[in-house]
Amino acid sequence: MELYDGGVTQPRGFSAIGICAGIKKDRKDMAMIMSSQPCTLAGTFTQNIVKASPVVWDKNIVHEYKIAQACVMNSGVANACTGKQGDDYCLATAQAAADALDLRPEQVLLASTGVIGRQLPIEKICEGVKTMSGMLSDSRQAAMSAAEAIMTTDTKRKEIAVTFELAGKEVTIGGMTKGAGMIHPNMGTMLCFLTTDAAISADMAQKALLSCVQDSFNMISVDGDQSTNDTCVLLANALAGNPEITQEGEDYEIFRSALELVTKNLARRMAADGEGAHALFEVTVTGASSKEQAVVLAKSVIESSLVKTAIAGHDANWGRIICAMGYSGAVFDTEKVDLTFSSRAGSVKIAENSVDTGYSEELATKILSEDEITAIIDIHEGKEMATAWGCDLTHEYISINADYRS
Amino acid sequence: MELYDGGVTQPRGFSAIGICAGIKKDRKDMAMIMSSQPCTLAGTFTQNIVKASPVVWDKNIVHEYKIAQACVMNSGVANACTGKQGDDYCLATAQAAADALDLRPEQVLLASTGVIGRQLPIEKICEGVKTMSGMLSDSRQAAMSAAEAIMTTDTKRKEIAVTFELAGKEVTIGGMTKGAGMIHPNMGTMLCFLTTDAAISADMAQKALLSCVQDSFNMISVDGDQSTNDTCVLLANALAGNPEITQEGEDYEIFRSALELVTKNLARRMAADGEGAHALFEVTVTGASSKEQAVVLAKSVIESSLVKTAIAGHDANWGRIICAMGYSGAVFDTEKVDLTFSSRAGSVKIAENSVDTGYSEELATKILSEDEITAIIDIHEGKEMATAWGCDLTHEYISINADYRS
């Protein structure tokens, strides 16, 4: 099972497009995904109790209707903290898409990302919906334009696809995501759109999605700020013709593994493209007595501002890592931590039994100067492990966020 | 009851000194405080399960012996993650001070701050202890030198004193603190030394200290990283001659109020001098249904990297504040938040019922360009409130922490 360069139009029956609708200046800012057939749905959303209007809209569709056929997305304005008008604008957007695509409004998912507290420019949005409806295409180019239109401070498009066999049928999953700041997902996450031509029940799709999100998007953090707009949806249109997956078993496991490949790839790329990031920082905690303990420790390390600035400075200031483990809330033997840094430039053991190994600072700096860095932390308690992804904290993060609205 | 410029030598019977012992290059790096009489003790310490050796040493003295007479502090090296050798060096330091001051080692409190993972240069430390023992003085200058010697990335000395009457006797509390980074105290905090000539039992001193720390040091955050070395101790030598405070009542309340004035002043100054900070950011949540709810909301706002960078950019990007409240874990009516920014330059209501008021961006920017900024958040649920203090997140924070060890 191999990932390849592809996006949301890769599975049969899905078309998409991204355009400049005039919300942002001279940049693509609206996207649409459409399936030729009604799709089974799964979705996870932000746990922030302040939820953007489109999040409330989508949650209702995912949990009540469990079927949809199109998605309309915009960047530039988050439609969060916009009161009743924000909700009305969601209905207006879905209605415009329903009219143009011959659907009902409740078959249209919505997603917004951008500045919180501003109202959507609803006329531009409805105009954009009409324009996009006439431009939908299943080409690679169309998927790329959609992935580009949902970017905010992202510097890179984030798309991926995987094709595999399920009960003799060729099945494809495609995905795109955005997110570089306010990234600290919890259950749901950022904007992520996953399409597949697999036949799978809503319950099993939801189960697979939750399981994959747990080990991918929920294991990344850029800045500890959990967004009001996090949304991750999976649309499955059954065009692959595989026997519908309705229970756990071999087919479900194959599908889940493929979906996990996609979500981990997208999550990793989101962390690497964190606002201002120069390096992807991967932390693997091994030797844990439980998965939960490993998760808490790994996340605490990637979230620490002091660890992140040390990585930015290519500085093996390992005490900050042990310190971040210490305040994580997880209990472990503080005298038994081994820490190794590795990257393309090599590998060096920094601490053994929580004490300095007398490592070469020169080698450590060389290893930490690469753009993908891994810390392997062994706590010698058991056999469980977890990996989390973050990035360094740089001057550019400050510049991006001090001037975000200007 | 008025605060005034003073430090740990202000109460009767306390002397101090700070010197260059050669741990850091050309900067003061060791300090000592000594009382002419044995002192009743109270102390709070880091909740990080990775604890520096001097924290373990002090906790034992505070909780087992409850009496001490001297403190020895060093900056430059934290003596954390240093294994058994770190513990041995604590004993060696306390023994050197005991020899020089004619005390027992368990009457000597210790505190270290600086790089984690390095061993103390123990010969320089013991030499420094000897030197300081001959230089102790109760002068204002001596207190200032001690306050200077415990600084790391701090840009300003932080000292304060208050004198008040207790049962007809004049009582004084003096304090000094340090801390600019790895500041996210929980119960204990940074290095803070409080001296008083009040007569107070250890139990009541501990009770007063815990209560004051809760509303002062535990309400600040610079970077969300909770140190391995946080230490806050109060030494009371009874020389004021007031009837010993042994229970709650009027005298206890007066003493507690005076102590709170001191700790809040020092905490506020620590936040204002946060690493790289250009502005003190004070957040008051009012209209809460419980104190705990107000505390959780206020702290979530001051800890948000995105709020902190917005303040650095003088940008009234208020959605980030509501967002940080939303993921705090506290439950509140997300449709009923009022937000006002104020500073020396004026006051402006930014959001009402969680929706933009149509405020003047120009005025907001002017208000946010001052070096002390307050956000007042009313959640219209009840009568409880809480205040937290943080600072903006600037380029200098990155520079300081990317290059900390070089």
- ipTM confidence score: 0.78
Cβ distance of B48 and A323 shorter than 8 Å: yes
- Beta sheet of A384-391, edge-to-edge order: A355-356, A346-352, A338-343, A372-378, A280-288, A384-391
Which among B302, B309, B18, B289 has a CA at the least distance from the CA of B139?
A: B18
Chain Cα centroid distance, residue B243: 29
Q: Does residue B167 or residue A32 have the better pLDDT?
A: A32
Q: B273 vs B152, B182, B218, CA distance in Å? A: 12, 12, 16
pLDDT recorded at residue B189: 47
Cβ distance of B398 and A399 shorter than 8 Å: no
Dist. CA B226–CA B252, nearest whole Å = 31
pLDDT recorded at residue A188: 44
Q: Looking at the partner chain, which of B50, B78, B399 has a beta carbon nearest the beta carbon of A326? A: B50
Dist. CA B306–CA A183, nearest whole Å = 10
Which among A28, A29, A101, A48 has a CA at the least distance from the CA of A70?
A: A101
- Give the tokens for residue A315: 């500085």
- Mean pLDDT along residues B43-49: 83
Q: A42 vs A176, A211, A278, A394, CA distance in Å? A: 15, 12, 34, 36
B365 contacts chain A (CB < 8 A): no
Cα first-last separation, chain B: 45
- Give the tokens for residue A249: 């078993």
Which among A268, A234, A232 has a CA at the least distance from the CA of A46?
A: A232
Which among B321, B337, B402, B174 has a CA at the least distance from the CA of A276?
A: B402
B69-99 pLDDT, tens digit per residue, is 999 999 999 998 898 999 999 999 999 999 9
Q: Which residue of B has its CA nearest to A351?
A: B117
Q: Looking at the partner chain, which of B80, B312, B402 has a beta carbon nearest the beta carbon of A313? A: B402
3-state secondary structure of B372: strand
A56 contacts chain B (CB < 8 A): no
Cβ distance of B49 and A223 shorter than 8 Å: no
Q: Which of B189, B196, B263, B374 is catalytic?
A: B189
Which among B30, B22, B266 has a CA at the least distance from the CA of B133?
A: B30
Dist. CA B145–CA B17, nearest whole Å = 6
Q: B49 vs A167, A334, A350, B230, CA distance in Å? A: 51, 7, 20, 12
Q: What is the pTM of this model?
A: 0.80
Alpha helix positions (H), A350-394: 361-368
Residue boundaries of the structural domains of chain B: 3-272, 280-402
Q: Looking at the partner chain, which of A223, A303, A334 has a beta carbon nearest the beta carbon of B49? A: A334
3-state secondary structure of A164: strand
pLDDT recorded at residue A336: 93
B296 interaction partners in chain A (CB closer than 8 Å) = none
Strands (E), A167-250: 169-178, 191-196, 231-236
* Cross-strand pairs, B174: B161, B195
A209 contacts chain B (CB < 8 A): no
In a mutational test of the A interface, the residue from B51, B89, B305, B365 whose CB has the highest number of chain A CBs within 10 Å is B305
A1 contacts chain B (CB < 8 A): no
Q: At what angle do helices B53-60 and B83-101 cross, to 10 degrees?
A: 50
CATH of segment(s) A3-272: 3.60.70.12
Cβ distance of A118 and B356 shorter than 8 Å: yes
Which top CATH class is B280-402? alpha beta
Kindly list the catalytic residues of A: 189
B325 contacts chain A (CB < 8 A): yes
Whether residue B189 lies in the annotated active site: yes
Least confident of A109-118, A269-278, B214-223, B260-269: B214-223
Which among A188, A215, A262 has a CA at the least distance from the CA of A2?
A: A262
Q: How many CB atoms lie within 10 A of CB B118?
A: 18
pLDDT recorded at residue A373: 96
B148-165 pLDDT, tens digit per residue, is 999 988 888 989 999 999
- Give the tokens for residue B262: 């001191």
Cβ distance of A117 and B83 shorter than 8 Å: no
Least confident of A93-97, B99-103, B217-221: B217-221
A226 interaction partners in chain B (CB closer than 8 Å) = 323, 326-327
Q: For residues A35 and A193, is the Cβ–Cβ distance under 8 A?
A: no
B299-340 pLDDT, tens digit per residue, is 999 988 889 999 999 999 998 899 889 888 899 998 899 999
Place of tokens 């004049």: B170
pLDDT per residue, tens digit, chain A (406 aa), is 889 999 999 999 999 999 999 999 989 999 999 999 999 998 888 878 888 899 999 999 999 998 999 999 999 999 988 989 999 999 999 999 999 999 999 999 999 998 888 899 999 999 999 999 999 999 999 999 999 999 988 888 989 999 999 989 999 999 998 876 666 655 444 788 888 999 899 899 988 888 888 887 877 777 777 777 778 889 898 999 999 999 999 999 999 999 988 888 888 888 888 888 899 999 999 999 999 999 999 999 998 888 999 999 999 999 889 988 988 889 999 889 999 999 999 999 999 999 999 999 999 999 999 999 999 999 999 999 999 999 999 988 888 888 766 5
Cβ distance of A225 and B306 shorter than 8 Å: yes
Q: For residues A348 and A359, is the Cβ–Cβ distance under 8 A?
A: yes
Q: In chain A, positions 154-183, which contact chain B (CB-CB < 8 Å)?
A: 181-182
A235 contacts chain B (CB < 8 A): no
Q: In chain B, positions 371-390, which contact chain A (CB-CB < 8 Å)?
A: none
pLDDT tops 50 at residue B34 = yes
Q: Looking at the partner chain, which of A117, A324, A355 has a beta carbon nearest the beta carbon of B356? A: A117
Cβ distance of B323 and A182 shorter than 8 Å: yes
- For residue B258, give the H/E element and its range: helix B250-272
Give the percent of chain B with pLDDT over 90. Answer: 64
CA distance A55 to chain B (A): 14
CA distance A181 to chain B (A): 8
Which amino acid would we find at residue A82?
T
pLDDT band at B188 (very low <50, low <70, confident <90, very high): very low
Q: For residues A158 and A269, is the Cβ–Cβ distance under 8 A?
A: yes
Dist. CA A152–CA B252, nearest whole Å = 56
* Burial (0-12, 13-18, 19+ Cβ within 10 Å), A299: buried
- For residue A204, give the H/E element and its range: helix A202-215
Q: For residues B239 and B361, is the Cβ–Cβ distance under 8 A?
A: no
B354-375 pLDDT, tens digit per residue, is 999 999 999 999 999 999 999 9
Dist. CA A280–CA A282, nearest whole Å = 6
